[in-house]
Amino acid sequence: MTDAPVISCRNVWKLFGKEPEAYLAEARAGRSFEEIRQAGYIAAVRDVSIDVGRGEMLVIMGLSGSGKSTLVRCMSRLIDITGGEVVVDGQDIMSLDERQLIELRRRKMGMVFQSFGLLPHRTVLENVAFPLEMRGQDRHERRDRALEVIRLVGLEGREDYFPRELSGGQQQRVGIARSLAIEPDIWFLDEPFSALDPLIRREMQNEFLRLRGMLGKTIVFITHDFDEALRLADRIAIMKDGAVEQCDTPDKIVLKPATEYVAKFTEDVEKARVVHARVLAQPVNGYQLEGPAIAADATVLQLARQLVNDGREILPVADGAGRVVGAMKRQDALDILLGPV
């Protein structure tokens, strides 16, 4: 991930109601969600500032009505914002005309939503090739690209099937393949696995992690499932009443929830399987480090046996290249694993 954000939202508002622009200044003057509602408006997105870095996976989560889907639609300008600024790859997308906006979406953005949206009268191959057809791409080129992404999502051999002949998980893979066909730089996914049963959902998460590792896309992923967010995210943004309550790494959200609302999301989470050694590591200065290092990317749960059996008070923490990047107090990790004494 580089320093320059791919998507940058600055003080973004989305109000629904009669002439929302006329009420925007009033809403910005510190009005609560409920005060805005009583004035006859819904603050679907309320003063959100957030960046998404290149190659990052940002998971946006919250309960129904929290504003997460509306925020993503603002990022892609599927809906126009009421106030603020959304910049995608250096372009203020509110300044784009319709042709420029369509071009941006066709060239840079892939989208997958809860409903698979497959064309029932078209085969898997034809569904996947459809966005390339809309782009005006040569028939042979779009067939080759469609076959490539069909193989990528594990549907080789089903190119001539119709959607009705596929399972729910297979239909979801077609939707993912279709969004990947245009080779997007930015991938928006709005609760893509919520309609699937638990086993297929887990399978699709595994598949998604595999694809993400291969493709290195910038991803904004919406879910209401905290376990799913913990499994997939580089950072998690938790929303309530249109506002972002906290945006941070999974480790930090679990260890240091910023608000009572965020704490409710994390109270039932097994912290040991989320918190990594790198988060507990402190600067080496002043510590005498001896013996083998532990992996910075290992969770406390993965280190459980070593933590119980290792008598050292301070453990060196090393990155993937074997470089010591910090020192971890064994007791801090044991407190997470077993609970404080």
Instruction: Give the per-residue pLDDT at 1.
Output: 45
- CATH architecture assigned to 272-338: Roll (3.10)
How many other C-beta atoms are found inside a 10 Å radius of the C-beta of residue 266?
A: 18
Instruction: Give the per-residue pLDDT at 2.
Output: 47
Q: In angstroms, rounded to a whole number, what is the distance separating the alpha carbons of residues 128 and 180?
A: 9
Instruction: Give the per-residue pLDDT at 115.
Output: 64
Residues of the chain with pLDDT under 70: 1-3, 114-116, 195, 341
Instruction: Give the per-residue pLDDT at 254.
Output: 93
Q: In angstroms, rounded to a whole number, what is the distance separating the alpha carbons of residues 43 and 201?
A: 32
Q: Is 185 helix (H, G, I), strand (E, B) or coil?
A: coil
pTM of the model: 0.85
Q: In angstroms, rounded to a whole number, what is the distance separating the alpha carbons of residues 55 and 57?
A: 7
Instruction: Give the per-residue pLDDT at 52.
Output: 96
> According to DSSP H, which parts of the chain are helical?
20-28, 33-38, 68-75, 98-108, 124-135, 139-152, 168-180, 198-215, 226-232, 250-255, 260-266, 277-280, 304-309, 330-338
